[in-house]
Structure 1
Amino acid sequence: MKFSIKIGISAFLAAGLLAGTSSAQTVTDSFDVTITIAEECQITSTQDLDFGSVGVLTANTDATATLQVTCTPGTAYDIGLNEGLGSGATTAARLMTSGASATVGYGIYQDASHSTNWGDVIGTDTRASTGTGAAQSFTVYGRVAPQSTPATGTYTDTITVSVTY
């Protein structure tokens, strides 16, 4: 009889262990992961427009610079360049200054032939493009045309780049 009780207890314990592992349950649920990409543009880099060191202004002096814009894919945008800080300057006739009144006139253009002014009036003289999601490079073409040569010195101006989208 002792033998049958031991077998009965062993069988009971083994059945309990098996029942415990087979009765484990798993429940599941889910959650959503989202991101909304909004239209956006960023000016990712600008480069100074440096005409170098020149003497008498009797011939065209040309220079180029590059700016980069990154916009979300499909986003239409316009790049505008303002008239700068020179007193009396316009986007068609910009002025670098040195001191209170000495100036050097110059122009900024969208093309290498210096025929398309680059200003800040959308639909008139801005540069239009459409975003790709990657940085897009644009060349800024500058020209100092022949003019009366002012006193020696360093002449500067600051142009503000705006991207409208």
Structure 2
Amino acid sequence: MQKLALRLALAIAALTLTAGTARAATATATLDVTATVVPSCTIAATPVAFGNYDPLVTNSSTALNAQGTVTVTCTTGTAYTIGLGAGNSASGSRAMQHASLTAELPYELYLDAARTTVWDNTVMQTGTAAGITPAPYPVYGRIPAAQNVPTGSYADAVVATVTF
């Protein structure tokens, strides 16, 4: 009898729990996820290294040419321009400075291999990034022939700027 009463009590408790259990309801909401990809660019340069300039023999009638590179990497779809500064010459035109004297060695930087279009901050390279892939732009340098300058090392620093 006690076993029957215990079974009956357990059955009633189970029915009570089942009947008293609330059914779960659901509701939904949309969680928006957003981001903005901003235009961004980086710029790097390899030198225009002319090497030895001999105004008396080798370069008495032939200019000395050299080439460097400006490389731009931008986010996809970013339009940009690349300009080259005038360098550090006090004369207002591009010239390398002697390492220890006040002498200058004139040179120029160009957009094209024929060296007909000067590359500066008014005449610039333009582009639009097609992907996050470095885009190299050659820089063509030239020291005119027969420059009457003292022997020694000459250098200049030209700022390359990407505007986007």
TM-score by length of 1: 0.80
Deviation at 1:100, TM superposition (A): 4.2
Matched, 1:127 2:128: no
2:70–2:160 Cα contact (<8 Å) kept: no
**CA 1:18–1:54 in 2, change beyond 3 Å: closer, same or farther?**
farther
Deviation at 1:51, TM superposition (A): 0.8
Structure 2: gaps (5+ residues): none
Deviation at 1:30, TM superposition (A): 4.6
1:80–1:120 Cα contact (<8 Å) kept: yes
Residue in structure 2 matching 1:75, options 75, 78, 83: 78
Question: Secondary structure of 1:67's partner?
Answer: strand
Question: Secondary structure of 1:133's partner?
Answer: coil
The match for 2:103 is 102
**CA 1:144–1:17 in 2, change beyond 3 Å: closer, same or farther?**
farther
Question: Secondary structure of 1:69's partner?
Answer: strand
Q: How do 1:138-157 and structure 2 match up within 5 A?
A: 138-157=137-156
Root-mean-square deviation over aligned CA pairs: 2.5
2:81–2:124 Cα contact (<8 Å) kept: yes
In 2, Cα distance between equivalents of 1:100 and 1:21: 96
1:70–1:132 Cα contact (<8 Å) kept: no
Matched, 1:162 2:154: no
**CA 1:2–1:132 in 2, change beyond 3 Å: closer, same or farther?**
same
Amino acid at match of 1:4: L
In 2, Cα distance between equivalents of 1:138 and 1:149: 31
Deviation at 1:10, TM superposition (A): 2.7
Question: Secondary structure of 1:38's partner?
Answer: coil
Question: Secondary structure of 1:70's partner?
Answer: strand
In 2, Cα distance between equivalents of 1:19 and 1:49: 87
Matched, 1:39 2:39: yes
1:64–1:141 Cα contact (<8 Å) kept: yes
The match for 1:3 is 3
Question: Secondary structure of 2:6's partner?
Answer: helix
Q: Number of aligned pairs? A: 158
Structure 1: gaps (5+ residues): none
Return 53-62 or 81-90, whichever deviates more: 53-62
Q: Percent identity?
A: 34
Deviation at 1:111, TM superposition (A): 1.1
